[in-house]
Amino acid sequence: MVDTLTQRQGALRAADGSVGWCVWAPRQKHLHLVTWRGGRRCEHAMSPVGNGYFEFGAADVEEGCRYAYRLGDDSRELPDPASRWQPDGVHHPSAVWFPESFEWSDGDWRGVPREELVIYELHIGTFTREGSFDAAISRLADLRDLGVTAIEIMPVAQFPGRRNWGYDNVYWYAVQNTYGGPRALQRLVDASHRLGLAVILDVVYNHLGPEGNYASQYGPYDSEHHRTPWGPGMNFDGRARHAVRAFVLDNVRYWIRDFHVDGLRLDSVHAVVDHSPRHILEEIGAVAHDVGDRAGRTVHVIAESNLNDVRVLDAPQNGGYGLDAQWSDDFHHCVHALVTGERNGYYADFTDPPRQLLKALTRTFVFDGCYSAFRGRPHGKPANNHGGERFIVSIQTHDQVGNRLLGERLHENIEPRQLRLAAGLLLLAPYVPLLFMGEEYAEASRFPFFCDFGDPRLQEAVRRGRSEEFRSFDWKGDFPDPSAQQTFESAVLSWRWPEQGARAGLRRLYQDLLAARRAWPALRDFRHRDAELLDVQGGRPVLRLVRGDPMRATERIEAFFNLGEDAVPLPPSGIRASNVLLHSDDVKYGGEQRGTVDGLAGFAFVIRGHMP
């Protein structure tokens, strides 16, 4: 009988070179494997081996061999739920693929420590004009030179059509065919490691997409009791849950072992419902860390969570899940509300951005058990003693940009000096920064939501859903058709920052701040931080942020952020004999400041300290 706690599914090559197929299909009494080899279609009865699993083995199977499963007496031939490769899309046969055939050149790679992470979120389809893994390799050096240490790739598990954000994927093991397939992803990871960049992969374990999802015809992958905003949740705690959990946990092993990825970003863990004695998130973390330890590499498991609950970080012996880091959206919302003045949707909770930003910088969560008017209830709990390196913060992400009416980026709604202020808050904050592709040079291309469903009913459902979401923010007017080719093409990065222009100045600011994070000990210290609001000239707020160990006075730095539009005198330094190390209004960053700094322009910031 098959061990359903560890069983691997899919078409897998054995030590003797033969290929064994294994699929979990408890809803079927009998199952047939259909293969296309040497131009011939062959059908093979699969053997039931217990607990709903079926197997079949064959010799002399070549990589690329197409195959499908015929369920019961049904004439339809369906792809493998654990397919490693869907070369022709979600509705067509799967293909055999051998991950171990790739020759890696990263044998000395050990990963990037959490404290050194600077994450760059990117979408493969729009990152370059070609929209492929191989084309992305040509831009990695630009990211390294910027100061990025890790790329975070939006989901690449097989989704329907040619274009999609990736969160509607339906084959968790297959790598998107239109991006170049699985071998090309291996090449991208290998090239990243050669340049010193870690690779974090965005994965979706809370639901399966609506088109090309045949899993429920094989077995109860979906839950009968839990739903997400995007459809049924996964069956992590119902009958037959052991097989679904094994399916997910082996997927975790697969990405880290066969693609050498350095981490997983778990999408919307607040939509992962599991009432089992041991939560699936805890098991995911344990498996990921075990595979990383065996390979001698640092592996990060990062949760996207809107719960403001550090249970995901707490050690299992303390009732937590033991993950490495989590997103903290309160920081984004504070900065966004501060520089844009928006108070619609969830920004309605951020009515006092300066004071709430102060709290976000010193206590991580703004909503740590206090009342949220947007939610109509208290929300969150304190971050306790977790260091800042356990939290990922941003001023732009695919969600925060792409879920706007037009998909407009932050720079379209604020002044350049406000954009520089936001960048300074992000990169000087005592947390791990995440940049959204193109943010560093105010990319002109927007990033609207796009998809490529073949079913017209799904296309219309997406339009309705987007319209309802925009109404909740009181945004009115037309928005780009998510299904239109032009909507996708409008999101492709230009990769242009003319040397003497404002974009180059902004990119230079990012580059200098990221260099400072590497060079200045205070910015590598995620524990010691202090902040206060200063009243300067009639109550106009200036935020003072201090980083570094008080016992190492010559290593401490302080930053003064003018949160108002009027210029104010530069407050006296709290660090003895300190110098101005960086001024955001400097002409080299696109500002107007030349020579000696004796004041703070509106929405400018200054860093003071001892020259490292």
pLDDT digits (tens, 9 = 90+) for 132-157: 999 999 999 999 999 999 999 999 99
- Which candidate, 327, 323, 336, 208, places its Cα nearest to that of 268? 327
* Residue 592 dihedral angles phi and psi, to the nearest 5°: -120, 0
What is the Cα–Cα distance from 100 to 398, expressed in whole angstroms?
33
Same domain, yes or no: 123 and 269: yes
Q: What CATH number does residue 452 fall under?
A: 3.20.20.80
| 311 & 432 share domain | yes
Model confidence at 6: pLDDT above 70: no
Which pLDDT value is given to residue 574?
A: 87
Query: Which residue, among 251, 200, 206, 242, has the nearest Cα to 81 in the 3D structure?
Result: 251
State whether 565 and 473 are in the same domain: no
Residue 174: closest CA among 203, 211, 207: 203
201 and 326 part of one domain: yes
| pLDDT per residue as tens digits for the range 327-336 | 999 999 999 9
CA distances from 588 to 395, 427, 500 (A): 22, 18, 9
Inside any domain, residue 367: no
Share of the chain above pLDDT 90, in %: 88
Q: State the first-to-last Cα distance of the chain, in angstroms, to the nearest integer.
A: 64
- pLDDT of residue 538 exceeding 70: no
More confident residue, 72 or 371: 371
Compute CA distances 306 → 267, 298, 331, 591, whole Å: 11, 26, 12, 36
Neighbours of 294 (CB within 10 A): 11
pLDDT in tens, 211-235: 999 999 999 999 888 888 888 999 9
Taking residues 68-78, what's their average pLDDT? 89
pLDDT interval class at 72 (50, 70, 90): confident
Residues 6 or more apart in contact with residue 439 via CB below 8 angstroms:
395, 396, 409, 410
pLDDT at site 2: 43
What is the per-residue pLDDT across 78-115, written as a single tens digit (0 to 9) for each? Answer: 999 999 999 999 999 999 999 999 999 999 999 999 99
Q: Per the structure, how many domains does the chain have?
A: 3
Tell whether 32 and 121 lie within a shared domain: no
pLDDT in tens, 408-424: 999 999 999 999 999 99
Same structural domain for residues 136 and 58? no
What is the span of the domain harbouring residue 263?
116-352+386-489
CATH of the domain at 569: 2.60.40.1180
Most confident of the following: 84-93, 476-485, 574-583: 84-93
- Residue 83's CATH number: 2.60.40.10
> Band of the pLDDT at 474, cuts 50, 70, 90?
confident
pLDDT tens readout for residues 244-283: 999 999 999 999 999 999 999 999 999 999 999 999 999 9
| Predicted local distance difference test score (pLDDT) of residue 540 | 72
Residues 311 and 410 in one domain: yes
Residue at which a domain ends, from 54, 75, 101:
101
Q: Tens digit of pLDDT for each residue in 26-40?
A: 999 999 999 998 889
Tell me what the pLDDT averaged over the chain comes to: 94
Looking at 489, 507, 540, the residue that finishes a domain is 489
Q: So what's the pLDDT on residue 4?
A: 47
Mean pLDDT score, 318-322: 96
Domain contains 76:
yes
What percentage of the chain carries pLDDT values higher than 70? 99
| 172 pLDDT higher than 80 | yes
Task: Report which DSSP code applies to 227.
Answer: E
- Does the structure show a pLDDT above 60 at 5? no
HSE toward the beta carbon, residue 218, CA cutoff 13 A: 26
Task: Specify whether 481 is located in the same domain as 537.
Answer: no
- Tell how far CA 542 is from the center of its chain: 32
**Assigned domain for 362 exists:** no
Last residue of a domain, one of 461, 489, 517: 489
Same domain assignment for residues 122 and 93? no
Q: Pick 515 or 538 by higher pLDDT.
A: 515
Question: Are 285 and 311 in a shared domain?
Answer: yes
Q: What is the mean pLDDT of residues 198-207?
A: 97
Instruction: Indicate whether 168 belongs to any domain.
Output: yes
Is residue 482, in this structure, part of any structural domain at all? yes
- 369 belongs to a structural domain: no
Does a structural domain hold residue 5? no
Q: Are residues 544 and 583 in the same domain?
A: yes
Question: Number of helices and strands (H, E) in the chain?
Answer: 14, 30
Highest-confidence segment of 5-19, 362-376, 452-466: 362-376
* 456 within a domain of the structure (yes/no): yes
Question: Cβ neighbours of residue 444 under 8 Å, at least 6 residues apart?
Answer: 494, 496
Active-site residue list: 267, 304
Where does 366-446 show beta strands of DSSP type E?
371-372, 377-378, 391-394, 432-436
- The pLDDT of residue 39 is 82
- Based on the domain organization, do 264 and 397 belong to the same domain? yes
- Which positions ≥6 away from 164 have C-beta within 8 Å? 125, 450, 451, 452
How far is residue 96's CA from residue 84's CA, in Å, rounded to a whole number?
Answer: 7
Q: Say whether pLDDT at 7 is over 90.
A: no
- pLDDT of 516 > 70? The answer is yes
